[in-house]
A and B are shown apart, each in its own frame.
Chain A
Amino acid sequence: MEAYRQEIIVGSVVIYMLFCVATGLWAMRRTHDSSDFFVAGRGLGPIVVALALFSSTLSGFGFVGGPGLVYSIGVSSFWMVVISSTGYAVGFYLVAKRIRMIAELRDCLSLPDVVAARYGSDAVRFLIALTIVLGVMGYLATQILAMAVVMQAILSGTETFANIGLVSCVVISSAVLIFYCVTGGIIASVYTDVVQGFIMMIAGSLILMTAVSVFDGGMQEATAIILTDDSEAIMPFGSAGVMASLGWFFVFGLGLAGQPHLITKMMMNKKMSDNRSILPMSLFGYVMAALLWISIGIVMRAAVIEGVVEPLALPDDAASTFLSIFANPLLAGVVFAGLFAAIMSTSDAFLNIGTAAIIHDIPKALRGRSVDNELFWARVVTVLLAIVAAGFALYSHYADATLVALLGAFGWGTFAASIFPVVAVGLNWQGATVAGAVTAISAALLINFVVQLAGIVLPYGISGPLVAFVTSMILFIGVSLLTKKPELAPDIEKVLRI
């Protein structure tokens, strides 16, 4: 079997991609209007929503960057994983019920629609839509680039595609992504997410079993090796220190309820009461998949220190090196398919919300109505958005990484800082005002931009997104208290009381 390792891996990835294409064709027949395209007609069952929710949370970053981070900075990065229970809990308590109610009551297709209904303000709608578009461009570009780099690594190991270029890999991987997103919209997206979620869970648990067998003494031997080399790396705050770790706890924990690609999924379930099972199922799925993140990172760091493996050229090589040395070819095939699944499940979610922002929300904010023939334009803009993001990805790779890095700054942290106060707090506090929301979003965008542009390094590993998040929360509450309490629409007021 070892002789066919590369063929098995390529075969697994091809089967997975064919499945995505087939799902797109199947979902196309179920997509009749823009409501189907953007929110699946609010008719999804709990298992579908739960798997879609967790698989969108764990992007390619979790499968490639996650193990690399543990290899690099030790336990510090565990904080991004262990906060999942807190993050999902806060998200469901604060957002799941009310976003679903407002979405149904006002027939909302997107998060900015919900925000506009809550605040009765197109300015807030516009700012949220703008934040989403900026964030989507950065996220999508990095995801497409990651997908292409992995595909090139896999294909170049075969005789036929030994010299395949990165551009070809961008084209192939983007084509599959675009096809199923354009044909089937969010329906294709969430149903591929279901399979993607299962693949990720299986990959995570199998990798854990493989990882604990690398050293005779299991995980304890691996952690003891790291402890002997540098105790701080394996202690609770890791190499990056206490404030970097707690910053991630804050931004990733609370911030989960501010991620537009995740909370939009909370609008899609058929029955409100399904939330009671969606929460634990999402969390379970996330934890199973994240086992890969932790176990590969720890074992690879210990293996390099112990001399079992040569030092890695880059921390992000941790997962691929682990798979090539320690994993059975079949497992490697599953994990590589899982990697594509992780990247695509996040990318399709971003394509969907980005398209909604461009053809639905921004026109509504600027001229009071969406574009005509929304479904047609949704498909056109999905293609264009993916092409522009792929262009950014290639430009950043070959010419200048600054642009994507800048847009990449509009990632998780900026979404958390801009959207959490306005949505998660605003949906539960009648005193929140338009001025408070506009100030919070603007401050969050500004701080993240300035920290990124100026390359500001804060002491003790305090991150820009943490400062932005705390500041936007303070401003949101402070400005809302100082400005006149708004008169809410009667239906919204009732929803906020339920």
Chain B
Amino acid sequence: MGQLLLMIGLADSVPNAGGQPHPEYPGMVIGADGVARLAHIGSLAFLFNSLLLTLVVGLCILGVSERHRSRKFLAGMGGSWLFMLAVWWMMFSTHQEFLMTGETGYFMGFPVPTAWQMYGTWLGAIPIIVMYSYGFRTFIYTYEDEAEFDALLEQATRNSQQD
């Protein structure tokens, strides 16, 4: 990801890629030419976020004890990762489509690409959250873990009393 960031930073620059002042309303910023802004870095940015989503899922797996990373758990995480990537792909591709055609539909108040971003991105992590809540005693903190930790606490109490 560091390398991607470097490549994006060194890519051919586009004037006002980070926006420009609105010609009529002070304080407002416009994005203007969406095609130009993505011309040199579109695919790199797509890859960057794909890796970020992979990192998110990877970190969640890291947070679970090795002995609880069962096939069921990894399958759940894999499914969540695919879901997040699919949402990202839909957002990116519908935006590209809009840039080419200038036309878009609406979903729940927002243009379709933005609806994918707003509802899709937020919902993208929900499967991981559901796994955490419903799988808490299976993957996160099992009754065996609890017993092990209680024993550790007892040991610590005994040690401090001896000291």
Residues of A in contact with B (beta carbons under 8 Å apart) = 71-76, 78-79, 81-86, 88-90, 92-95, 97, 101, 104-105, 212, 218-220, 222-224, 227, 229-244, 246, 249-250, 253-254, 272-273, 275-277, 279-280, 283, 287, 294, 301, 304-305, 311-315, 424-425, 428-429, 458-462, 466-467, 470-471, 474, 491, 494-495, 497-498
Of the A-B pairs whose beta carbons lie under 8 Å apart in the complex, a sample of 16, sorted by A's number, is A79-B117, A82-B121, A83-B121, A89-B128, A90-B59, A90-B63, A229-B30, A231-B31, A232-B37, A241-B19, A273-B146, A276-B140, A280-B129, A311-B28, A460-B8, A460-B13
Q: B143 — nearest CB in chain A belongs to which residue?
A: A273
Give the residues from 20 to 61 in chain B that come closer than 8 angstroms, CB to CB, to chain A: 22, 24-34, 37-38, 41-42, 45, 48-49, 52, 55-56, 59-60
Are A243 and B41 in touch, CB under 8 angstroms?
A: yes
Are B91 and A230 in touch, CB under 8 angstroms?
A: no
Are A276 and B31 in touch, CB under 8 angstroms?
A: no
Q: Is B83 an interface residue (CB 8 A)?
A: no
Are A93 and B156 in touch, CB under 8 angstroms?
A: no
Query: How far is B106's CA from A494's CA once the two chains are assembled, in angstroms?
Result: 52
Are B122 and A84 in touch, CB under 8 angstroms?
A: yes
Q: Closest CB-CB distance, B143 to chain A, in whole Å?
A: 10
Query: How far is B148's CA from A315's CA once the two chains are assembled, in angstroms?
Result: 54
Instruction: Tally the A-B contacts, defined by beta carbons under 8 Å.
Output: 247
Residues of B within 8 A of A294 (CB): 118
| Contact A243 to B114, CB < 8 A, known contacts A83-B121, A301-B28 | no
Residues of B within 8 A of A92 (CB): 132
Are B132 and A235 in touch, CB under 8 angstroms?
A: no
Are A105 and B5 in touch, CB under 8 angstroms?
A: no
| Contact A75 to B49, CB < 8 A, known contacts A227-B111, A279-B133 | no
Are A272 and B156 in touch, CB under 8 angstroms?
A: no
Are B124 and A86 in touch, CB under 8 angstroms?
A: yes
| Contact A235 to B18, CB < 8 A, known contacts A425-B62, A460-B9 | no
Are A254 and B117 in touch, CB under 8 angstroms?
A: no
Residues of A within 8 A of B32 (CB): 230, 232
| Interface of chain B, main secondary structure | helix
| Interface of chain A, main secondary structure | helix
Query: How far is B122's CA from A79's CA once the two chains are assembled, in angstroms?
Result: 9
Query: How far is B62's CA from A221's CA once the two chains are assembled, in angstroms?
Result: 44
Are A82 and B19 in touch, CB under 8 angstroms?
A: no
Q: B144 — nearest CB in chain A belongs to which residue?
A: A498
Query: How far is B63's CA from A18's CA once the two chains are assembled, in angstroms?
Result: 42
Q: A295 — nearest CB in chain B belongs to which residue?
A: B109
Are A86 and B125 in touch, CB under 8 angstroms?
A: yes
Q: Is B74 an interface residue (CB 8 A)?
A: no
Residues of B within 8 A of A234 (CB): 110-111, 114
| Contact A498 to B65, CB < 8 A, known contacts A85-B125, A243-B45 | yes
| Contact A467 to B34, CB < 8 A, known contacts A254-B56, A304-B28 | no
Are B98 and A235 in touch, CB under 8 angstroms?
A: yes
Q: Closest CB-CB distance, A2 to chain B, in whole Å?
A: 28
Which of A86, A253, A275, A494 neighbours the largest number of chain B CB atoms within 10 Å of its CB?
A86
Q: Closest CB-CB distance, A491 to chain B, in whole Å?
A: 6
Residues of A within 8 A of B66 (CB): 497
Residues of A within 8 A of B89 (CB): none
Residues of B within 8 A of A219 (CB): 108-110
Are B152 and A491 in touch, CB under 8 angstroms?
A: yes
Residues of B within 8 A of A81 (CB): 122
Residues of B within 8 A of A249 (CB): 49, 52, 121
Query: How far is B149's CA from A497's CA once the two chains are assembled, in angstroms?
Result: 11
Q: B151 — nearest CB in chain A belongs to which residue?
A: A494
